[in-house]
Amino acid sequence: MKTYQLIVFLLIVFAVYFIGNAYIFFKGYNIIPPVREKRVLYTIIFIAIAVTFIAAKILESRHSSVLTDILNIIGGFWMAFMLYGFIFLILSDITALILRIPGIINSGNIMNYRKWAFFITAGISVVLILGGFINAVIPVVSRYDITINKAADDVKELKIAAVSDIHLGSIIRKRSLKKLSGMFEREQPDIVFLLGDIVDGELGPVLRGDLLQYFTMPHTVDGLFAITGNHEFIGGADRTIPYIESKGITVLKDEIIKLPGGIQLIGRLDRDSRRFYGKDRLPLSDLMKDIDHSRPVIVLDHQPFNLEEAEKNGVDLQLSGHTHNGQFWPLNYITRKMYELSYGYQRKGNTQIIVSSGFGLWGPRVRSGSRSEMIVINVNFTAD
């Protein structure tokens, strides 16, 4: 990422974060009388909580510890509270303006309305966050049955288990990996794919507990393959990728592997390799120039952009992640506008595409707009 692009991006992020926090700060200060009496204490506590997540990331980049884990957890939950607090307080202000027209709200009862709106907003936000936390720690298996109309020699069926966006780090740790390993064990797939963002960002929290040691796999006929996501580059791919590979995981970086039955597996380098490292990934057409199109072609690509590229080049199945399906309500509605397919299954011509909402999460351990999942795909091969 170029310096000016990084500066613009950070300025936008910090501006949004500051505005959201400032809005909630002044709402609480103006509505709750005891707060005004203890304004210095209130200001100190509010600022301390508001900067916790940012402080955690800065400290984590220098030295990972249990303290930075705790700060990440606290800061993450505050981010979720800020999101919902801001949304519902804005809605309450809009409602107040509308109710002023017929005189239902006036100068005599406006402060009482604002006080109750603040407390109701806080209550709804807490309920959504608690529900989202429970939802986040109970992953599901999403199943797909598809047919590829190509021969794969003696292979008639292939059971794929895939997971994207594990985001190992301060929030997703060994307990989550053990749960994921148990899910794979129960499924007994023929092959396993890790669809990028295995690591959340900084490698320190992962190395501190050597977290990938807790990722145990059942015996698979065809192996375990991974691709990079954007977060592998955020934390430094020169350290992150070798660590992943040291655990026996084959990371495909614009590479092609031929599986039994002549099935061709293409693992693409994440598109953000250019943004962070100035290294362009190969166009899909270049990767596929020597592909045998009479045999099945499976592509692993972390970010589901430019889906027409897969269709144009004759890909049979593409698996992606990255979107988290929004993770938080109502952000899932935004991701639906950002991506042609932000979650689930889509067919474009002869190309079938599946986008997972991911197993882990970014920021708070809250999923109020999607489910944490592993996907299992039963592929049938039938020659015309």
Considering the domain architecture, whether residues 22 and 53 belong to the same structural domain is answered as yes
- Give the pLDDT mean for 22-34: 84
The pLDDT of residue 242 is above 70: yes
Domain count, the chain: 2
Considering the domain architecture, whether residues 123 and 156 belong to the same structural domain is answered as no
How far is 114 from 376, CA to CA, in rounded Å?
49
Confidence of residue 73 (pLDDT cuts 50, 70, 90): very high
- Does residue 207 contact residue 175 with C-beta atoms inside 8 Å? no
- Does residue 85 contact residue 25 with C-beta atoms inside 8 Å? no
Considering the domain architecture, whether residues 163 and 255 belong to the same structural domain is answered as yes
- Give the pLDDT mean for 97-111: 88
Considering the domain architecture, whether residues 128 and 185 belong to the same structural domain is answered as no
Considering the domain architecture, whether residues 121 and 168 belong to the same structural domain is answered as no
Considering the domain architecture, whether residues 188 and 92 belong to the same structural domain is answered as no
User: What are the helix (H) ranges across 101-229?
Assistant: 110-136, 174-187, 204-208
Check residue 107 and give its pLDDT.
84
Considering the domain architecture, whether residues 104 and 11 belong to the same structural domain is answered as yes
pLDDT tens digits for 47-69?
999 999 989 988 998 888 999 99
Confidence of residue 295 (pLDDT cuts 50, 70, 90): very high
- Give the pLDDT mean for 132-160: 93
The pLDDT of residue 278 is above 70: no
β strands within 152-301, DSSP E? 157-163, 191-194, 223-226, 250-251, 255-258, 264-267, 297-300
- Give the pLDDT mean for 345-369: 94
Considering the domain architecture, whether residues 104 and 166 belong to the same structural domain is answered as no
- Does residue 243 contact residue 209 with C-beta atoms inside 8 Å? no
**Domain span including residue 350:** 139-381
Backbone φ and ψ for 353, nearest 5 degrees, come out as -125, 135
Q: Which of 117, 135, 153 is the last residue of a domain?
A: 135
Considering the domain architecture, whether residues 108 and 248 belong to the same structural domain is answered as no
DSSP 126: H
Check residue 125 and give its pLDDT.
93
pLDDT tens digits for 324-345?
999 999 899 989 999 999 999 9
Burial of 276 (0-12, 13-18, 19+ CB in 10 A): middle
Considering the domain architecture, whether residues 278 and 178 belong to the same structural domain is answered as yes
CATH code at position 217 = 3.60.21.10
How far is 379 from 152, CA to CA, in rounded Å?
11
Check residue 276 and give its pLDDT.
66
Angle at 272 between CA 82 and CA 76, to 5 degrees: 20
Q: Which residues neighbour 91 within 8 Å (Cβ) at sequence distance 6 or greater?
A: none
Check residue 342 and give its pLDDT.
95
Higher-pLDDT residue of 234 and 2 is 234
Considering the domain architecture, whether residues 128 and 169 belong to the same structural domain is answered as no
Angle at 361 between CA 379 and CA 266, to 5 degrees: 35
Confidence of residue 10 (pLDDT cuts 50, 70, 90): low
How far is 17 from 15, CA to CA, in rounded Å?
5
Percent of the chain with pLDDT strictly greater than 70: 96
